[in-house]
Amino acid sequence: MSLPIYLIGARGCGKTTIGRALSLALDYAFSDTDHFLQQTTQQTVADIVAAEGWDGFRRRESQALMAVTAPATVIATGGGMVLAEDNRRFMREQGQVVYLKAEPEVLAARLSAYPQADQRPTLTGRPIADEMVEVLSQRDKLYHQAAHHVINAMQTPDQVVRQLLQALSLARAS
């Protein structure tokens, strides 16, 4: 049985892009917790946060994680999935967790180039470059704590997938 692979990291690190490519390379299913939430609730992340606050969204996000977890599945998680200790533990126990790590400036540039403000509300109300520095300073330790592997996400998607395949094959061999 092939364990699920969870991709964690901040907004803009490439979890969805890398997740789709990795799932093709491994012949795994692909799931995105934010997309799952939007499909099942028929609301955007911004709508859920507006109606239920961040606490309500985080509860739903945890439920989505449990719902999409399955063998032979690559799962792109929301950037804040690691905030709940239960989520970090669940992912580590159920599969392989990969932190797609990128510098705040790179994340901010990517998010500015491909804005999706309707789906992902600002966490701090500050400019995206400032927000990425603040969010990473708060979450980097949690991402590391949850991860079995840390991959440099500031490369091309192909390079990231190659590195991931190598890291995962080494993990299976040991």
| Number of domains into which the chain is organized | 1
Q: Which residues pair with 75 in a beta bridge?
A: 6, 31
Q: Which of 53, 91, 56 is nearest to 75 (CA)?
A: 91
- Is the per-residue pLDDT at 108 higher than 80? no
Read off the CATH number of the domain in which 124 is found: 3.40.50.300
Residue with the larger pLDDT of the pair 105 and 32: 32
Q: Is residue 154 over pLDDT 70?
A: yes
Instruction: Give the structural domain span for 54.
Output: 5-173
User: Can you tell me the mean pLDDT for 89-95?
Assistant: 97
pLDDT tens, position by position, 136-148: 888 999 999 999 9
Computed over every residue of the chain, the mean pLDDT equals 88
Tokens standing for 119? Answer: 């789906």
Percent of the chain with pLDDT over 70: 87
- Reported as type and span, the H/E element at residue 45 is helix 45-68
pLDDT at 117 over 90: no
The pair phi, psi for residue 99, each rounded to 5°, is: -90, 115
112 and 136 Cβ atoms separated by less than 8 Å? no
What pLDDT is attached to residue 44?
A: 86
Angle in degrees, CA 80, 86, 88, rounded to 5? 55
Q: 135: pLDDT confidence band, cut at 50, 70 and 90?
A: confident
Is pLDDT above 50 for 118? Answer: no
